[in-house]
Structure 1
């Protein structure tokens, strides 16, 4: 037997001895099991949203009836028109969009700036300072509510939408950590080559670091947009004018109004909840490719 024959026999050995290549039935069983678990998990997570949509299309006396029925019976799409007439939902939607985009853009840009400093520069005490930044994540947000309110009140900005997003100008420890981990994976010679060509430190950040870290930036932007979009605590503290309400604050006002009147119109509340939730679902589907890519690549940095 020649050397070529020996190599061919070695390659064919796993299939002949019942190795992985000779077990298509086993692979098929594992795939079926995997997809079954995936489908069951997806159903568990999707059910609350499906129930919300279905219940929002039911008449008032049937809102909580037949919770496992996947379609409304009878069908009542006029609930959305009633929600639109009961409150300035469009105005609240615009307010939420403005506040959410402002909050997400400011925290993403400021956190990226700080993260670039921690990833690129080498200086004594860098790790200690970075640890101090991360330590702020251990501080509960409720501890800073009163001092933060006093600061904004002293600036005369309570009753406006500014406190809902302007604090993000100073960055976020979580996003700084996320973006730093991503930037550490960028080869340093890329920045050094630009320095040799005369690029300033700001050029390194703006022209190299930001474009290369686009997936991680999208993660930070989407995370903060979601957090701001569903935030109720700060609008409750700072907003009193209904014209400035965001969607969660307006939804709370609708619930309070119906309870004070002794007639909880849950079908309208549920319809308004669907209107509040759908924009973020659309945002995720539009950016899911970058979103998943950013999470996967950031997890490999270190």
Structure 2
């Protein structure tokens, strides 16, 4: 009992340490410009300026950037779930010549650094005329991602083969088997892929920096970068804008952490 109590105390202490940067951001966002530069610094302001969030949203054109980011994120999640689920289902449930070889080739692509394919992909997107559009950031998701295919394939492998046989006897085809039986059983894995894709796409900075050029096409990450350069000395506005950018990721992880943990722990049961 004592050991369990000490474990909880240690976890609470570690949580407090990890929460300190977020607490600093929040308290700084609620201070006035003069209070931020007060020496000695105060952790909590004497007057809370909640209007800083509204001012930061107005100065960085938050709603326009939010719309662009949500569009790119939504299409990327849809493309990733569609393509990765179909490919993983094929590798897990169908026996075809060279299945192990092609799966090994797929997994091997994860060893290729993104910096190597950056220039060829840019030249391809430029040749297609997709620069300064959302297509370079969304269309590749519809062709699958090796890591997510591997994760979903491992989850498919945990489903007993007897379910396939029973469904086939009842007249189920491959697509009906996938939609009616498999997908409900792998919801934790689908939730995990959704969370990973959301966080990566929402916080992506390099992709929009390379492919998006006009101000109307910017995402929140690019908007925050420009905001930082324009209001470099306005720390309270900068912290408010940073919290607005990271808040959706915190909420998604908070509400779906059960599926996230379940999806990442079960994938290694059966290979």
Q: TM-score, normalised by structure 2?
A: 0.93
In structure 2, the partner of 1:116 is 89
Query: Is the CA contact (8 Å cut-off) linking 1:216 and 1:294 kept in structure 2?
Result: yes
Bigger relative CO (Cα 8 Å, ≥ 6 apart) = 2
Asked whether 1:39 is paired with 2:8, we answer no
Partner of 1:165: helix, strand, or coil?
Answer: helix
In 2: Cα distance, 1:151 partner to 1:196 partner: 47
How far off its partner does 1:112 sit? Answer: 1.1
How far off its partner does 1:67 sit? Answer: 9.9
In 2: Cα distance, 1:54 partner to 1:44 partner: 16
How far off its partner does 1:178 sit? Answer: 0.6
Query: Is the CA contact (8 Å cut-off) linking 1:51 and 1:67 kept in structure 2?
Result: no
In 1: Cα distance, 2:205 partner to 2:36 partner: 25
In 2: Cα distance, 1:242 partner to 1:136 partner: 34
Query: Is the CA contact (8 Å cut-off) linking 2:28 and 2:235 kept in structure 1?
Result: no
**Quick one: which of 280, 283, 290 aligns to 2:252?**
283
Asked whether 1:134 is paired with 2:103, we answer no
Superposition pairs of residues 1-302 of structure 1, within 5 angstroms: 28-63=1-36, 71-258=44-231, 264-302=233-271
The structure with more radius of gyration: 1
Corresponding pairs, count: 271
Deviations 1:45-70 (A, max 9, x none): 22222221111112223336689965
Deviations 1:133-161 (A, max 9, x none): 11111111111111111111111111111
- Cα 1:144/1:71, change in 2 over 3 Å: same
In 2: Cα distance, 1:110 partner to 1:71 partner: 48
In 2: Cα distance, 1:66 partner to 1:103 partner: 46
In 2: Cα distance, 1:65 partner to 1:185 partner: 58
Please say which of residues 245-254 and 73-82 is displaced more in the overlay: 73-82
- Cα 1:134/1:63, change in 2 over 3 Å: farther
- Cα 1:92/1:138, change in 2 over 3 Å: same
Please say which of residues 99-108 and 229-238 is displaced more in the overlay: 99-108
In 2: Cα distance, 1:132 partner to 1:72 partner: 56
Query: Is the CA contact (8 Å cut-off) linking 1:160 and 1:244 kept in structure 2?
Result: yes
In 1: Cα distance, 2:114 partner to 2:226 partner: 24
Query: Is the CA contact (8 Å cut-off) linking 1:55 and 1:64 kept in structure 2?
Result: no
In 2: Cα distance, 1:224 partner to 1:37 partner: 32
In 1: Cα distance, 2:36 partner to 2:98 partner: 60
Query: Is the CA contact (8 Å cut-off) linking 1:103 and 1:165 kept in structure 2?
Result: yes
Give ranges in structure 1 of 5+ residues lacking alignment.
1-27
Give ranges in structure 2 of 5+ residues lacking alignment.
none
